[in-house]
Amino acid sequence: MIINKEFSVIVTGGASGLGEACVRKLTGLGAKVAIFDLNKAAGEKVAYETGAAFIECNIADEASVDNAFAQARKINGQERALINCAGIVKGIKTASRDKETAEIKHFPLEVFAQVININLIGTFRMIAKSAAGMMALDTIDGERGIIINTASIAAFDGQIGQAAYAASKAGVAGLSLPVARDLAGECIRINAICPGIFNTPMMASLPQNVQDSLGASVPFPKRLGKGAEFASLACHIIENQYLNGENIRLDGAIRLGMK
């Protein structure tokens, strides 16, 4: 698929981090971009700076998503591409003992459900509704559309405290092949990017020494990944028609340890 000024794309989580990097790259290539994000202030700022459209949207809410698709399609036409970057992370152990009080606690199930609801079900809601819309499009060079999800290397090497997050991302990775098969007859592709450790606001909340030591633990290059590197892979996936049903690690060869 060629990225040009006719190319309409929706980026969830486009107000920050990896999604924002995609918005900047795609608008730079002339694409018509709609940002779906909960964060209105950040989303409007990115939209103002890039010429993208910002639409306030909670991917975990059916009505909010339906409304956002209707608005985006009114502004930019039916999207040819969907890039799912919206997500949250929570670090809590499955069961733990407080070092000082010896109190025993377990992972709150409502938090587990929240992570799955946003990262996995929210992503699938976007996929299903976008694919249904793409099916009305004519093919260009034999294809109708392309979907890109953001999983994580935590899908494979989940760390201490990541039971919910890793399960949600393993779910996203698990979608790639069956959804590619579901949509193959409609000429719609799907792939997931599995980022390692990237320098985004999600990471910037960690102390600098922790960020430095995370960067140093990457085999090569010895640093955190850049949003632009994620966006560059997203564009390659859009352009390379033979890439389908795959989970692609983008991680400088890191394999996460226990913590």
Ligand X SMILES: NC(=O)c1ccc[n+]([C@@H]2O[C@H](COP(=O)([O-])OP(=O)(O)OC[C@H]3O[C@@H](n4cnc5c(N)ncnc54)[C@H](O)[C@@H]3O)[C@@H](O)[C@H]2O)c1
- For ligand X, the closer of residues 187 and 237 by Cβ is 237
- For ligand X, the closer of residues 173 and 187 by Cβ is 173
Q: For the chain, what is the radius of gyration of the CA atoms?
A: 18
CA distances from 41 to 48, 54, 70 (A): 11, 10, 21
Cβ proximity of 241 and 3 under 8 Å: no
Smallest separation (angstroms) from ligand X to the CB of 106: 23
- For ligand X, the closer of residues 60 and 137 by Cβ is 60
Nearest-angstrom CA–CA distance, 251 and 219 = 9
Is 242 annotated as catalytic? no
Give the residue, chosen from 22, 59, 183, 192, that forms a contact with ligand X under the rule CB under 6 A. 59
Q: Does 233 bind ligand X (CB under 6 A)?
A: no
Alpha helices (H) along 57-205:
62-76, 109-115, 123-134, 163-184, 201-204
Closest among 136, 140, 151 to 190, alpha carbons compared:
151
Q: Which two tokens stand for residue 88?
A: 């949250």
Smallest separation (angstroms) from ligand X to the CB of 216: 15
Q: Does 37 bind ligand X (CB under 6 A)?
A: yes
Q: Which two tokens stand for residue 76?
A: 């930019």
Q: 7, 36, 69, 165: which is the annotated catalytic residue? A: 165
Smallest separation (angstroms) from ligand X to the CB of 200: 3
One-letter amino acid at 114 equals Q
Tell me which residues in 1-20 interact with ligand X (CB under 6 A).
Answer: 12-13, 15-19
Give the residue, chosen from 8, 130, 152, 247, that forms a contact with ligand X under the rule CB under 6 A. 152
- For ligand X, the closer of residues 30 and 201 by Cβ is 201
Give the residue, chosen from 57, 147, 164, 166, that forms a contact with ligand X under the rule CB under 6 A. 57
Residues serving a catalytic function are 165
